[in-house]
Structure 1
Amino acid sequence: RHLRRLRVNAVRTLEIDSSEALLAMVADGAGWAITTPLCLLQGRTHAPRIAVVPLPRPSAERTFYVVGRSNEHERTVGVFAGIARKILKQDAEAKIRHLWPWIRSAVSTVGATNHPSMDGQD
């Protein structure tokens, strides 16, 4: 989608579901890939053998959601969302920024909520 916005017509040769496999193939010389910071983190064992560069603007973004049924364990879903956000903020962001310092401004954890217990607090 991002490439289409930039009017780049790249031919797809492979689609890989595993971040580890994707980065291993790139590290072994199979070509290049577009991926997300979390996928980079999952395949970080290959970091010394790959070059990571940002995509040209407009930038792409990824949003994660914790989903639960209405009126069923809503408080627990909110607590899980808060825990997930803390893990992403304190662990994943720090590791990504350590491996690729230029990515500092591109990775952030936003705490938007629509439920009072989303922060894990009442």
Structure 2
Amino acid sequence: MGIFQTTGWIPASEAWFNFVRDHPEFGVKPTESSWIHFQRTHAKALIDADVIRRIAWRGRMLADTSRFDTATFNLLTTGSVEGRNRTGSAAPKIDYEGQAKTLHEAGDGLRQLLGGKQPAAQTVEPSHD
């Protein structure tokens, strides 16, 4: 059995509250409600990356303080624990005429179809019902 580092783990909710206080740019308050929403949305990705772990006591979780902030920042800004991939895009690939493309590449293809022109922006007027 290998040696496991047991220091640097704190309750995941505490790690979240610290993160939110340190990053006011996200506009999130350090409340129980924000923690519940965050963990319902992102806990699986953080567990899969071994940044947080469920413990066998009342559904609580522990967070690795050495990786929680970076992983959470990446999740909130790119949708991935790892952040941007090597190509500089965290955008998911979509199937475009049988060929996987990023949304950016698909936009380039659309511009080519339009003869190099930028697609026209559509505006939606509010209804006054």
TM range (shorter): under 0.3
Structure with greater helix share of residues: 1
TM-score (norm 2): 0.22
Bigger Rg, which one: 2
Structure with higher RCO (Cα < 8 A, 6+ apart): 1
TM-score (norm 1): 0.23
